[in-house]
Amino acid sequence: MKNIIMIFVLLIFPFAAMAAGIQASPEKLMFNISNAKALTQEITVVNPTADVQLFEIYPDDFETLIKVFPASFMLEAGGSKKVQITVDPKQFSGSSAGTTLSVLGKSLAESKIQINAGIKIPIIIAVSGEKRRNWIFIVTTIIIVVGLGYFLKKRGNR
């Protein structure tokens, strides 16, 4: 239920992917898993400040499911970097999930006041083909039950 509420909130209230010192696009990521292949999308992180910044990117939940490369890097003033976000369906057991990707920036300029910036990018993961998996489970269960019944009936007739 918690995942459904989070997905609903993420769809209704998209977060801005811009903060003082960080810009990132797209504003949200949607992964539609249909088979066992890993899916990768890219975000672009931009340093709009006049200082060199150190960036760190990580998922707030599902760390085994969502991988970020590179997870940490430096950008010169005005620089940009493409970051790959990969979802591994082998690590996912649900039918849908939602979380956010944290993008944090820290200025490397020496200053008396250190201000760090951060943004959240919503990630929505949905599994298509869920009905097909349910059908396979149901058919397999029926075959096992019928086979077990046949075996027990044969054994009881002896």
41-72: pLDDT as tens digits: 999 999 998 889 999 999 999 898 899 999 99
Between CA 104 and CA 7 the distance in angstroms is 22
Give the pLDDT confidence score for residue 97 in this predicted structure. 85
Q: 57: burial class by Cβ within 10 Å (0-12, 13-18, 19+)?
A: buried
Give the pLDDT confidence score for residue 80 in this predicted structure. 95
Give the pLDDT confidence score for residue 113 in this predicted structure. 62
Give the pLDDT confidence score for residue 94 in this predicted structure. 72
Helices (H) then strands (E): counts for the chain: 2, 10
CA 99 to each of CA 17, 33, 124: distance values in angstroms, whole numbers, following the listed order: 15, 16, 7
* Region for 23 from its dihedrals, namely left if φ exceeds 0, alpha if ψ lies in -120 to 50, beta otherwise: beta
Give the pLDDT confidence score for residue 17 in this predicted structure. 46
Give the pLDDT confidence score for residue 14 in this predicted structure. 43
- DSSP label of 47: -
The segments of the chain whose pLDDT lies below 50 read 5-19, 131
pTM, two decimals, is 0.67
Q: Which amino acid belongs to residue 115?
A: I
Between CA 138 and CA 52 the distance in angstroms is 57
Give the pLDDT confidence score for residue 3 in this predicted structure. 52
Give the pLDDT confidence score for residue 145 in this predicted structure. 73
48: Cα within 13 Å, side-chain hemisphere:
10
